[in-house]
């Protein structure tokens, strides 16, 4: 088990690793949750922590998390997109996986990848970063949730609007994480409902 001094000393290294992952030009289509969770696993192992700690519990709130993801998708489609388009100069492009359009086979494959990416992202952002700040700053969870949201906005590829959306979404997932007893299960289902729902709508040609 690592000492408190060693755990605190790892903080600059962990921050640097997140920034490195953010600036590396990853191939298109790579879900950044994958390299993040690899780094997170190494950092948690170095501190003598296991992922079982953040996957336990929260099952009674899992469906609430999934419902929150669906609600967030509906709000983003019906309210968020028109508002951003009205303020901007171009239309919002939802399409991330054009290969799924009109193909249920491709949709099924992409949904599996999205599910893996959702679990990896929540393990990294909530189970590693938010949990890390919670360990170091006992008290109200505002700062830990904010740190996780900022990290998600930093690593999100895209323009300023995309990063703001990622940060806002990350903040909501952070509160779900804390409210579910610091379990990544509920925010993972919320993320999966949001991103998976978007894939299904894209396959059905509702959005593009």
Q: Which pLDDT value is given to residue 146?
A: 94
Among residues 27, 42, 54, the alpha carbon closest in space to that of 148 is found at 54
Per-residue model confidence as pLDDT tens digits over 18-48: 888 888 887 776 777 888 999 999 988 888 8
Q: Are 178 and 145 in contact (CB under 8 A)?
A: yes
Q: Which pLDDT value is given to residue 87?
A: 64
Mean pLDDT along residues 122-148: 90
Among residues 116, 146, 119, 122, the alpha carbon closest in space to that of 134 is found at 146
In the numeric block, the tokens 């953010």 are attached to: 22
Q: Which pLDDT value is given to residue 9?
A: 72
93: helix, coil or strand? coil
Among residues 190, 193, 166, the alpha carbon closest in space to that of 178 is found at 190
pTM for the complete prediction? 0.87
Burial 101-137 (b: 16+ CB within 10 A, else e): eeeeebbeebbeebbebbbbbbbbbbbbbbbbbbeee
Q: Which pLDDT value is given to residue 26?
A: 78
Q: Helix/strand/coil (H, E, C) string of 28-80?
A: CCCCCHHHHHHHHHHHHHHCCCCCHHHHCCCHHHHHHHHHHHHHHHHHHHHHH
Per-residue model confidence as pLDDT tens digits over 48-103: 888 999 998 777 788 889 999 999 998 888 877 666 666 665 566 666 788 899 88
């Amino acid at each position: 088990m690592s000492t408190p001094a060693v755990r605190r000393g790892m903080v600059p290294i962990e921050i640097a690793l997140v920034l490195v992952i953010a600036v590396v030009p990853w191939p298109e289509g790579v879900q950044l949750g994958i390299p993040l969770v690899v780094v997170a696993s190494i950092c948690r192992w170095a501190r003598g922590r296991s992922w079982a700690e953040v996957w336990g519990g929260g099952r009674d709130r899992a469906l609430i998390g999934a419902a929150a993801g669906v609600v967030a998708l509906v709000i983003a489609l019906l309210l968020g997109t028109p508002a951003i388009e009205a303020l901007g100069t171009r239309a919002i492009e939802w399409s991330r996986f054009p290969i799924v359009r009109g193909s249920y086979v491709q949709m099924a494959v992409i949904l599996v990848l999205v599910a893996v990416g959702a679990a990896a992202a929540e393990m990294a952002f909530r189970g590693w970063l938010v949990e890390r700040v919670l360990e170091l700053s006992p008290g109200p969870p505002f700062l830990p949730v904010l740190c996780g949201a900022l990290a998600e906005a930093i690593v999100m590829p895209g323009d300023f609007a995309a990063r703001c959306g990622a940060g806002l979404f990350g903040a909501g997932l952070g509160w779900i994480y804390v409210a579910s007893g610091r379990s990544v299960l509920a925010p993972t289902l919320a993320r999966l409902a949001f991103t998976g729902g978007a894939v299904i709508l894209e396959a059905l040609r509702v959005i593009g």
